Structure 1
Amino acid sequence: MENRRTSASEQLKGGGAVLPRGSALSDVDRLEAVVATVSGDAQFLVDGDGTVLVCNPAASSLTGVPGATIVGSNVASRIGLDGDQDLGDLLCSGRIGDVASGWVVGVEGRSEPVEVVVGRHHAMEGTVYVLSVRSVRDRLLREAELVRRATHDPLTGLPNRSLLLQHLELAIGRSSRVELGPAILFLDLDRFKRINDSLGHNAGDELLVSVARRLESCSRPGDLVARIGGDEFVVLCDGLTSAQAVGRMARRIVHSLDEPFTAGSIDVRLSTSVGVAMADRSTGAEGASDLLAQADEAMYRAKENGGGRFAFYDREISDQAIQKLHLEAELERGISNGELVLHYQPIYEVTGGQLTGVEALVRWQHPHRGLVQPLEFIPVAEDTGMIFALGEWVLEEACRQLLAWDRSGSRPIVMSVNLSPRQLVEADIPATVGRLLSTSGVSADRLQLEITEDVMLESSGPALVALNELRQIGVGIAIDDFGTGYSSLSYLRDLPVTVLKLDRCFIEGLGTDPQASSVVAAMISLAHSFGLTAVAEGVETRTQLQALRFLDCDLAQGFFLQRPKPPDDIVELLRT
C-alpha cells in the first residue's frame, strides 16, 4: 500500500520500538498507528498491567533510553506522578483525558518534569492505553523566572517587599509558640541621595548592590535580607532570643555599613539609620505590615537623632504620632470651619504707661477641648503646610480688627503679627500683605511683622528679599525673642529691622540679679545704637518694670501689664 505509514522495523530504526509479533497484541501495524496519532509528545502504549508494548522515538529522546529497552518494561519504572498519585491507579480509574504532573526517569537517574495524559484504545485482544508524555521543564523555568521577577529586586537580586511580607507573616505565625517573635531591622541609607546625585545613577546602583552584598555577609544564614525600594533595606531576623541580641545585630549592621564602599574608582563613606521592631505583645502589631510600619517609624527616630545609629520602636511615641495625625485632621477642619480666634496682648510705653500697640496671638476654639494654645497646634501647621492658610487668616483678621477699633473711635495703635519662617521664605508674603493692607485700608506703618532669629540663617536668600520688600511697603519688622537664637550684629546692620523684642528669659532676673540687669542694659543699648525700638517681653512683676524704666527700655508687654484679651476687652483699654 503506497499510503501505508512507516513500518515497525522502520520505527525501530528511528529510535521507537514495538513488542515483537506473537505477544499479547499481535496486530503490530495497528499499534503503530495508535502510537503515531499524536506527534511531538513521547508516546507509550501499555497494556492493563502497565507493560510497555510500543513507544515512539520521542519517548526514547525524553528518557535517554533506547526504545528496545523501554518496550517490555513496566511503565511505572519510567514515569512517576507527583504527590500521592499512582500511575497504575490512574490507568484503572478510567479518568481518560486527565492531565497529571509527574516526572520521567532516564539514564543515571536523570529526572525530567512532565505532564501525562492517558488515552484508551481497544484492540482485538483487549484494551490498551496510550500515555502521551510532554516535558514541562522549559515552561516551569519560565514560570519560576516570572515568580522570581515578581518577588525579587532586579538590581540587587534580593527579595522585594512582597516576598518579605510573605516570609514575615509566616514568621509571625510561628512566633505564637515562642517568647520572642521575629525582629525587623528597617534600614535607610544616610546621605545616599546626595551621593547618587553627585556621582551619577550608575555609581549609585553599584553602591546599592555593594550594600546588599555587605548586608548578606553580616547577617546570619537564616536571616532574610530584602530591598524594598530606593535606598531602603530590611533584615528579617527570626530566632533571636532577646532584645539585647536584636540590638547587637542592629549595631553590627550599623558598624558594617560605616566602613567605606567603592563606587567606580571613588571611595565613598555611608552611614545608615536602622529602626528595630519586634513581634511581641508589647508592640501591638497585628501582622507583617504593622510590624514593618513600626520599624519604619523607629528608623525615622534614628535619623532624627543624627543618623548612623539604630532605635527601637516605642509604642508610646507611636501613640503620640497617631494623636498628631488626629490633630492635623481636626486643625484642617477647624481652619475651614472658622474655629480660630485672635486674642491681643497690649504693649505699653515703659515710661509714660500709654498703650501703643497689641500683639495678635492666635487661639483655636476647639468644639470639644475648649481654647487650645498655639504651642500645641502651630508646630503641626508648620509641618503640614497649613501655616500658609492659617497665617494669611491671622493677617487678614488682624487688619480687619484694627479697622474695627478705629471705627469705634479708639485711638490708633500698632498691630504686631507673628510670621513663621516658612511663611517668610516659601509664601509670597509681601504680595499678601500689600493686598490685605489695600483691601482693609489700614496704613502700612500700623502693621508690624515679628520674625524669630532663626530666619536670619536665611538672610542672604529669599528671606532677605521678602523683608526688604515688606519694608518698602512700609510695615515694621521686629526680631522676636532676641538673644535666644542666631544673634549676630551683622544682621542688625544688614537687615531692615525696626524693633528688637528682648526674650522673657533675660527679663526674669531684673531687679534681683545684677548680671541679668547688665545683660538687658547691653541689649537695650545695642538696640538704640542701631536706631531700633527695644521691647521687653514677659514682664511679670513691678520690680521688673521699674528696672526697665531705669534702663531706658522703650516698650514692654507681659502678664503684669495685661494678659492677652479678646477684641472687645481691648476696646475698653483704648478708651481709658
Structure 2
Amino acid sequence: MNCDSLTTLHRISELAVENEPLYTLLTRALQILAEAPNFMRQPEASIFTVDRTTRTLRLEAQIGAETHVLPPGTSFPFDASPMGQVARTAETLLICRNSFPPPMRFHAPCQHAIALRADASPIAVLNLSLSEGTNTPLSTFQSELLGALAPMLGRIVRHHLNHRQQVRLAAIVHENPHPILECDTEGNILYTNPATRKIMWQHAIDATELIPENHIEYVQTCLANHAPLQVQNTVKNSTYSWSYIHANETDAVHLYGLDITEHRLIERQLTHDAMHDRLTGLPNRNYLLSLVKNSLTLIRRRPDYLFALLLIDIHNFKSIIESLGYPAAEAVLKETARRLSSWTARGNTLARLGGDEFALLIEDIGNASAAIEAAHIINGQINEPIQIDQHPTGIHISINIGIAIGDADIENAEALLQNASTAVYRCKREDSTGIEVFNKQMHLAAINRLQVQAELKKALQRNELRLYYQPVFSLVDLRLRGFEALVRWQHPSRGLIGPAHFIGIAEESGLIHELGRYVLETACRQLAHWQHAHPSLIWISVNVATQQFLVDTLVQDMRSIIETTQADPRRLFIEITEGTAAKNPERAFRMLSDLRDCGIRIALDDFGTGYSSMAYLKRFPIDALKLDRSFISGLPENTDDAAIATSVITMAKSLGMKIVAEGVEHERQAMFLRSMGCDEVQGFLYGHPMPKEQATQVLVHGRPAN
C-alpha cells in the first residue's frame, strides 16, 4: 500500500474519534476520498445506510451535490435501485448511470457500489465514481484502498447508528407515559424514568413498592431463560402489567410497566355484559345455563338435593308492542324484572332469556310442590297492573309458567331449559295463562310435533295434501248451496290424516303460508271447473288461518290466484275466525274491505266462541255468520244453547247476514234451526267431507245423499 493510501486511511480514521453528526463525518470522508490522488475519476460519491427491518436505504451523505436532487435523509426501498442487491448480498457492483431512477442519477457514466460492513451483514452502501466505463478495471491502488476503507467506514457508521438509536430510545424512555425501570442481576433498581417517578410521587411509595412482590425471582427467571416474563400486580387500587425483558448486550433487565386499571375495568364490564341482559341488568341465558350446569352436577353427587327451573313467559306480549310501542314494552319488562327480583334474596337466580321470557332457578327446594307454590306466588305478583307513562290507567299482563324439576338423568342444562319451554308451550297451546309442570309425555309430544313438522314440509313438496269438500244445504228446501273446502293429508304410511293433527303445527312452524296458498289455489281451480260444468253451484268457502290472513300480500295473492284459475270471486267465501279479526281489528277491517272489493265474500267462522264479537259485526264487511258446533250439539234440549243459537240467528237476520249452522248431526237439531230461521246447515246429518269426485256426484243431484 503506497503512501497516498496510508495518508487517506489515516485522515479517515481520525474521523472516528470526532464528536460530530454522522452526516458531517461521512461528508468529510467522501471529500477525503475525492482528494486522494488517482482514486476517483469524478468527484461524485454517496453513502446510504441499510435498514433491514423496513428493507430500505437512507441517504446519509453525498458530494457532487449539484448533480443530485435527493436531500439527505431520503429513504427508498431496496428494489428501487441496484444498491438494494448490494445491501442484500454484500457483493460489489458496477452500476450504470441509467440503472438509477432520474432523481438518483449521477453525472459519471457508472459508479461502483461497495458494501460497508461492521459485522457479517452490510450496514451501508458506498457509491464511488472509480472508472470511466464498464470495461475499465480498478487499479491496484484503488482495490487496496477500498479493501481497507470499507470496514473502517463501516465501524464509523455502526458507532453512530448505535448512538442515534440510543438517543432515540432514551427519548422514548424519558417521554414514555408508562413506567420503565432497569435492574441489575440482583434485582437492584438502576434507573427509573419520569413516568415511574410520577407514579411513586402520586402514591407516596418508593420503587420497591411499585414493582411486583417476587421481583428478584422474576429477574432471575428472565435471565436464566433469556425470555420475556409478564407479571401483574396491584398498587393502591391500580393494576399494572410488567414485562421483564433481558437486555442482550448487558446483564441488565428492563421492566416495562403498563397501567391496565382501565383495561381491567372495561374487561370486567365486557364480561358482565356478556353474561347479563342490558335492558334489565339480570343474568342472561348464558349465565343461567352455567348455573343450571352446576346444579345438575350437584344433584348427581347429592341424592337429597333438588332444584327447579321456572320459565316465565308474558302472555300476548307482542300485542303490547303493537299497540303501545317499544318504550312501553320495555317498561313492562323492567317492571316485571323488578317484581320477580324479590326471589333472588333467597339465594335463587332470576334471568332474562330474551324477548318476553324470564327464568327463575330455585335452588335446594324440598319437593316439586314447592316449585308449584312458587309459581302461584309469582302469578300473584305479576297480576297487579303495571303503571307506565304511556298508559296511566295501568297495563294488565298475565304469564305462562313452565316448571322443569332438576333430575340426575337430564343430559345437560339446555335439555332442562327445553323441558321448561315445552311446559310453557303446553300453556300457550291452550291460548290461556297457567302453570304446567313438565313430564315425559310432553317430551314425547314435542318430539312428535317436530316429526310431523318435518314430514309436513316433505308432504308439501310431494303433493300429499288433498282437499275434501263438505256440502252445505239450504234449510228451506235442502238444496245444495255450496261446499266448504277442508284439507287432508294423504300420509304414505299413516293414511288419511285430519287437519286437527297438523294445522296447529303448520301455524307454529310457518308452513301455514305455503299450505294455505295450496288450499286457496286448489279450491279456486275446483271452483272454476265446477262453475262451468255445473252452474247451479253457488259457492265454495275456504278457511284462512290467522298468520295467513295478516300477511300484507294476501289480497294481492288472491287477485293473482283468481286471475290464474279464472274462478268467479263472487262464488268464493273466505272464512276467518273471531280471534283472527280481534288480533288487529284495524288491519282486519282494511283486509276484509279489500277482499270484498275483489268480489270475494266474507264469513265469520266459529261465531260466539271468540272475543267481543258484537263490536265487530256492525263494522266489518261480513256476509255470513257460521254458528259454532259447540252451540249445536245440545239443541234443542239444552236451554242455554238454544237461547244462544236463537239470539245469534236473530241478530244475523237483523244485520242482513246469512247464518250457517255447523256440526248438525241429528234431525231434531235441523228442525229447531229451521224453526228459528237459520238459512243453511252443514254436518254429518247431510254429508261428511268428501273427495272432489264424490262431491261432484252430490253437485249433480243437488240434494243430500240420504
Bin for the TM-score computed over the shorter chain: 0.5 to 0.7
The corresponding residue for 2:460 is 335
Candidates 482, 504, 511, aligned match of 1:357? 482
Could you say what secondary structure the match of 1:281 adopts? coil
Instruction: Report the equivalent of 1:149.
Output: 270
Question: Using a 3 Å threshold, how does the CA distance of structure 1 residues 100 and 442 change in structure 2: closer, same or farther?
Answer: closer
Distance 1:505 1:451 in 2: 17
Residue 391 of structure 1: which of 516, 519, 533 is its match? 516
Map of 2:540 onto structure 1: 416
TM-superposed CA distance for 1:280, in Å, is 1.4
Matches within 5 A, 1:27-46: 41-45=180-184
CA contact under 8 A between 1:223 and 1:237: conserved in structure 2?
Answer: yes
> What is the correspondence of 1:289-438 to structure 2 with a 5 Å cutoff?
289-295=414-420, 312-405=437-530, 409-410=533-534, 412-420=536-544, 422=546, 423-438=548-563
1:344 to partner: Cα distance: 1.2
Deviates more, 1:456-465 or 1:372-381: 456-465
Residue in structure 2 matching 1:80, options 198, 205, 214? 214
Partner of 2:260: 139
Residue number in structure 1 paired with 2:227? 97
CA distance in 2, matches of 1:102, 1:533: 84
What SS is found at the alignment partner of 1:416?
strand
Give the aligned length.
Answer: 513
**2:190 counterpart of 1:56:** yes
Q: Where does structure 2 lack aligned partners over 5 or more consecutive residues?
A: 1-18, 20-169, 702-706
CA distance in 2, matches of 1:532, 1:204: 43
Q: What SS does structure 2 have at the residue aligned with 1:348?
A: strand
Q: Following the alignment from structure 1 to structure 2, what is the Cα–Cα distance between the partners of residues 562 and 498? A: 24
Q: How far apart, CA to CA, are the structure 1 residues paired with 2:561 and 2:620?
A: 24
- Check whether the contact 1:215–1:253 (CA below 8 A) recurs between aligned residues: yes
CA RMSD of the aligned region, Å? 5.4
1:449 maps to 574
Instruction: Pick 1 or 2: higher relative contact order, CA cutoff 8 A, min separation 6.
Output: 1
CA 1:369 to 1:96, structure 2 compared with 1: closer, same or farther past 3 Å? Answer: same
> Partner residue of 2:155?
none
- Residues 1:572 and 2:572 are matched in the alignment: no
Instruction: Name the residue aligned to 2:293.
Output: 169
Cα deviation 1:184-204 (Å, max 9, x = unaligned): 455667869959997996996
Verify: 1:280 aligned to 2:407, yes or no: yes
Q: Please say if residues 360 and 415 of structure 1, whose CA atoms lie closer than 8 Å, have aligned partners that are also in contact.
A: no
1:424, CA displacement in angstroms?
4.3
1:79 positional shift = 4.5
User: C-alpha separation between the residues in 1 aligned to 2:358 and 2:470?
Assistant: 52
Distance, in Å, in 1 between the alignment partners of 2:556 and 2:441 is 43
Amino acid at match of 1:355: L
Q: CA deviation at 1:399?
A: 2.6
2:575 alignment partner, SS class: strand
CA distance in 1, matches of 2:512, 2:604: 19
Offset from partner CA, 1:321-355 (integer Å, 9 cap, x none): 44334333333332333222111122334454433
The CA deviation at 1:149 is: 1.4
What TM-score do you get using the length of structure 2 for normalisation?
Answer: 0.56
Assess, with a 3 A threshold, how the Cα gap between structure 1 residues 513 and 202 changes in structure 2: closer, same or farther: closer
Q: Residues 516 and 400 of structure 1: is their aligned pair in 2 closer, same or farther, counting only changes over 3 Å?
A: same
Displacement of 1:566 in angstroms is: 0.8
Structure 1 residue ranges without an equivalent (≥5)? 4-36, 71-76, 123-128
Q: Deviations for 1:227-280, whole angstroms, at most 9, x for unmatched residues?
A: 655676655554445445555666777777788999899998897856554431
Deviation of residue 404 (structure 1)?
3.0
Instruction: State the shift of 1:479 in Å.
Output: 3.7
Q: Compared with structure 1, are the counterparts of its residues 304 and 101 closer, same or farther at alpha carbon in structure 2 (3 Å cutoff)? A: same
- Secondary structure, aligned partner of 1:219: helix
Structure 1 Cα separation of the partners of residues 477 and 322 of structure 2: 63
The one-letter code of the counterpart of 1:97 is A
Give 2:688's match in structure 1, choosing from 563, 568, 571: 563
Q: So what's the TM-score if we normalise by structure 1? A: 0.67
SS in 2 for 1:343: strand
- 1:56 maps to a residue whose letter is L
Aligned-residue offset at 1:478: 3.5
Alignment of 1:497-536 (within 5 A): 497-510=622-635, 524=649, 527-536=652-661
Partner of 1:27: none
d(CA) in 1 for partners of 2:476 and 2:518?
A: 34
CA contact (8 A) 1:356 1:414 kept: yes
Give, in angstroms, the shift of residue 173 of structure 1: 3.1
Deviation at 1:371, TM superposition (A): 1.4
For residues 522 and 265 of structure 1, what CA distance do their matches in structure 2 show? 39
Contact 1:218 1:256 in 2 (8 A): no
3-state DSSP class of the match of 2:467? strand
Cα contact 1:478–1:499 (8 A) shared by 2: yes
1:315/1:151 CA distance change after superposition, 3 Å: farther
Say whether the 8 Å CA contact 2:285–2:351 is kept in structure 1: yes
Deviation at 1:150, TM superposition (A): 2.8
Query: Alpha carbons of 1:539 and 1:184: their partners in 2 closer, same or farther (altered >3 Å)?
Result: closer
- Give the 3 Å change call, closer, same or farther, for CA 166–524 of structure 1 in structure 2: closer
Q: CA deviation at 1:374?
A: 1.5
Q: Deviations over 1:137-174 (max 9, x none)?
A: x3376246424413434677665554554454344334
Paired residues for 1:453-472 under 5 Å: 453-454=578-579, 457=582, 461-472=586-597
Provide the secondary structure at the position in 1 that maps to 2:502. helix
Specify the code of the residue in structure 2 equivalent to 1:95: N
Q: Measure the CA separation in 1 of the matches of 2:325 and 2:566.
A: 55
CA distance change for structure 1 residues 511 and 447 in 2, over 3 Å: closer, same or farther? same
State the alpha-carbon separation in 2 of the partners of residues 111 and 441 from structure 1: 79
Moved more, 501-510 or 373-382: 501-510
Cα distance change of structure 1 residues 178 and 446 upon mapping to structure 2, 3 Å threshold:
same
The residue identity in structure 1 corresponding to 2:302 is V
SS in structure 2 opposite 1:392? helix
Deviation at 1:461, TM superposition (A): 2.7
For 1:427 and 1:130, the matched residues in 2 are separated by 76
Aligned pair in 2 of structure 1 residues 254, 113: CA closer, same or farther (>3 Å)? farther
